[in-house]
Structure 1
Amino acid sequence: MSDLQRLMLAAAVLLVAVLVYLLHPILTPFLVGALLAYMGDPLADRLERLHLNRTVAVCVVFAVFSIVVATVLLITLPMIGRQLDILITRIPEWLHGLQELLLPFLQRTFNLPAGGWGFEELRENIGGDLKGAGNIVAVIWQRVAGSSVVIIAMVANILLIPVVTFYLLRDWDLLIAKLRESLPRTWETKVVDVSSECHEILGAFVRGQLMVMLALSIIYSIGLGIVGLDLALLLGLLAGLASIVPYLGFIVGIVAASVAAYFQFNEWLPLLWVALVFGVGQVLESVLLTPLLVGDRIGLHPVAVIFAVMAGGQLAGFVGVLLALPVAAVIMVWLRHLHAHYKSSELYDVAKP
């Protein structure tokens, strides 16, 4: 690659980054649509191999996906709303219980003074704020409904997602083919190889890891519901979503569920059942879900996942979060190739003792 080509490539990358940063307020429906199209493309390809027209195959995939999403939302949203209301009333009680349980232990163990901790003030302030909030859904709607512009923008974004998803899914293979044809001929082989590696990683992570997160959310929610926790669905979803980072979902879920179980039942025995639920979920994830749905193809270190998501959110909000893992996967693949190039270069040979 000549110096001019390197300069043009760097300028193109910089231009794309600047455009993403400047346009991130309107990019959310397009990125969500692209993500959904990327996830649905393999299924549409399979239907095409059954001699279905691409448009018909996309319509089938789109209809099935829409029915599943609508059914899940209609079932879960009212339940989540009720459990959020329960959580609002329980948080002051939990803070009071932690104050009664932990403070005497800390004072005895570390010989700490009795006053000046501020737990009582914290509990009163949080309790007052939460009681004033009332129903969480009503509060969100009141704040959103205060501006007609916000409502119009929100509705437009929601309606735009299925439109973008449909057209991207219908033309996905055509868009990929045109992108490949537009590459410089000397770059095509290398870019296609790198893109294939990125696709393998992203496919494993986006499709596989999301399926693992969904399965764990269902397992944890059902298990905690059998235990009798009032916040079973909320805690199960929390643990499932946190499972985007290995072992984080297990740690966050078992801690939160144990606190909820102890203060709901005022007994230690339910904590053993909570531990059993998360133990079974962890075993299923390690032995069955991850090997079957993800495999060992991700290659993204858990710390890299955390950093990428936090950095994306800091730089570009929700759009940054959506772009974080794809960008991290591409960077990781390029770093792997750069490392292999360095190991075969004269610089590495000179550096060897």
Structure 2
Amino acid sequence: MRRQWWLVLGLVGLIWLFVSLQPILTPFFISMILAYLGDPLADRLEARGLSRRLSVSLVFLLLSVILLLALLLLVPVLGRQLGQLIESLPAMLNWVQATVVPWIQSLTGQDFSTDIDALRQALMSNWKETGTFAATLLAQVSRSGLAVVAWIGNLALIPVVTFYLLLDWDRLTAKLHGSLPRQWEPAAVHLARECDEVLSAFLRGQLIVMLCLGIIYALGLTVLGLRFALLIGLLSGLVSIVPYLGVIVGISVAGIVAIFQFDSWLPLLGVGAVFAVGQLVESLVLQPKLLGDKIGLHPVAVIFAVLAGGQLFGFTGVLLALPVAAVIMVVLRYLHEHYKNSTLYDAHGTERQDEEAS
């Protein structure tokens, strides 16, 4: 009993330490995720005869090139499209008030013009204060020079920590395995393998699915000639981490932009076709090949995990919400199996199994 209390106190201490160090832990958690994603590739290169350091250097170089290309190619385009979208918001609200609201009123008999007009006036009044807000933000940043330096320092830590974690990943996992209490070792190894399957399927597989969907949506909307195609496509692929949410968000935003841009309902057919193709590719190719049935996280659980992580631990909590939820799911499944085989669930069934075994 005393040993169990020590374990509880140790767990409470770890949680307290995590909360206390949360502001500086973000770059380390990002580095852990990157190292976890890159370790299988490094192991494959090492199996082909390369040294661990050379394998890690090649993987690190590959990750750096991908990140650099994304920054150089995507960020300027996305920033430009986001700025254009923000500039178009007042005109889009005017169009909604003049075209969509009367149509909705004719169907429902409700008057929404006052609410839309209030929203448009609020947007226009804040629009004029954008310069003042930017100046205030710049002054605040200049006064908080140490905070900016700390933020840049944390960002610069990510590649350094990622390299050393990736270099010693197998050694760290082996030491952790060797430090497990022998009586817990079989169950811990079993849980660790299941957690690794779920996390690898989720992190690697889901990231590839999101990227592929974002590319399909962006290319399809670009072929249609839709404005902000890249921004809408990548946003839809990003939020597709929650099943069906990417389609709902993408069709809604792309449909509004299409009607506003072309002043016709026909482009909606093209928008629907683009997202239908994306869904078919995801259902028939991406999900079976990359994910299968390994994850098992319900969409509601995904939404709750992200919101709870953000509420409790900020950006770090959002970053770790889904991996932690996947691990908790594996542990709960393991406990549920033991519960179904326990006397608490079915005392008579357990007695019968003992009699048959004897």
TM, length-normalised to structure 1: 0.93
Q: 1:300 to 1:189 in 2, by over 3 A?
A: same
Q: 1:326 to 1:138 in 2, by over 3 A?
A: farther
- Per mean C-alpha deviation after superposition, the further-off stretch among 29-38 and 146-155 is 146-155
Task: Give 1:200's match in structure 2, choosing from 194, 197, 200.
Answer: 197
- Indicate whether 1:298 and 2:295 are aligned: yes
Q: 1:158 to 1:183 in 2, by over 3 A?
A: same
3-state SS of the aligned residue for 1:345? coil
Q: Corresponding residue for 2:24?
A: 26
Q: 1:142 to 1:254 in 2, by over 3 A?
A: farther
Matches within 5 A, 1:65-214: 65-113=63-111, 117-130=114-127, 132-133=129-130, 144-214=141-211
| 1:170-191 alpha-carbon deviations (Å, 9 max, x no partner) | 0000000111111111111111
Shift of 1:76: 0.7
3-state SS of the aligned residue for 2:49? coil
Q: Corresponding residue for 2:346?
A: 349
Q: Corresponding residue for 2:334?
A: 337
3-state SS of the aligned residue for 1:185? coil
- Indicate whether 1:215 and 2:208 are aligned: no
3-state SS of the aligned residue for 1:186? coil
Q: 1:75 to 1:62 in 2, by over 3 A?
A: same
| 1:40-61 alpha-carbon deviations (Å, 9 max, x no partner) | 0000000000111101100000
Q: Corresponding residue for 1:15?
A: 13
Q: Corresponding residue for 1:261?
A: 258
The CA RMSD over aligned residues, in Å, is: 2.2
- Per mean C-alpha deviation after superposition, the further-off stretch among 101-110 and 257-266 is 101-110
Q: Which amino acid aligns with 2:19?
A: Y
- Per mean C-alpha deviation after superposition, the further-off stretch among 186-195 and 329-338 is 329-338
| 1:248-287 alpha-carbon deviations (Å, 9 max, x no partner) | 1011111111011110111111111111111101111111
Q: Which amino acid aligns with 1:317?
A: G
The whole-number CA distance in structure 1 between the counterparts of 2:118 and 2:66 is 46
| 1:120-154 alpha-carbon deviations (Å, 9 max, x no partner) | 121122133245436x9999767644521132012
- The runs of 5 or more residues in structure 1 that have no matched partner are none
The whole-number CA distance in structure 1 between the counterparts of 2:243 and 2:300 is 10
Runs of 4+ displaced beyond 3 Å: 105-115, 136-146
3-state SS of the aligned residue for 1:296? coil
Q: Which amino acid aligns with 2:39?
A: D
Matched pairs, number: 349
| 1:63-93 alpha-carbon deviations (Å, 9 max, x no partner) | 1110111011100111011111111111122
Q: 1:13 to 1:327 in 2, by over 3 A?
A: farther
Shift of 1:350: 4.7
- Per mean C-alpha deviation after superposition, the further-off stretch among 319-328 and 96-105 is 96-105
The whole-number CA distance in structure 2 between the counterparts of 1:218 and 1:59 is 28
Q: Corresponding residue for 2:321?
A: 324
3-state SS of the aligned residue for 1:240? helix
| 1:89-134 alpha-carbon deviations (Å, 9 max, x no partner) | 111222222222343244334433576x332121122133245436
3-state SS of the aligned residue for 2:304? helix
The whole-number CA distance in structure 2 between the counterparts of 1:251 and 1:330 is 28
Contact kept? 1:235, 1:256, Cα under 8 Å: yes
The whole-number CA distance in structure 1 between the counterparts of 2:54 and 2:18 is 33
Q: Which amino acid aligns with 2:229?
A: A
Q: 1:338 to 1:21 in 2, by over 3 A?
A: same
Q: 1:256 to 1:309 in 2, by over 3 A?
A: same
The whole-number CA distance in structure 2 between the counterparts of 1:16 and 1:203 is 25
The whole-number CA distance in structure 1 between the counterparts of 2:227 and 2:135 is 21
The whole-number CA distance in structure 1 between the counterparts of 2:288 and 2:141 is 43
Shift of 1:27: 0.7
The whole-number CA distance in structure 2 between the counterparts of 1:41 and 1:114 is 55
Q: Corresponding residue for 1:283?
A: 280
3-state SS of the aligned residue for 2:242? coil
The whole-number CA distance in structure 2 between the counterparts of 1:184 and 1:113 is 69
Shift of 1:10: 2.5
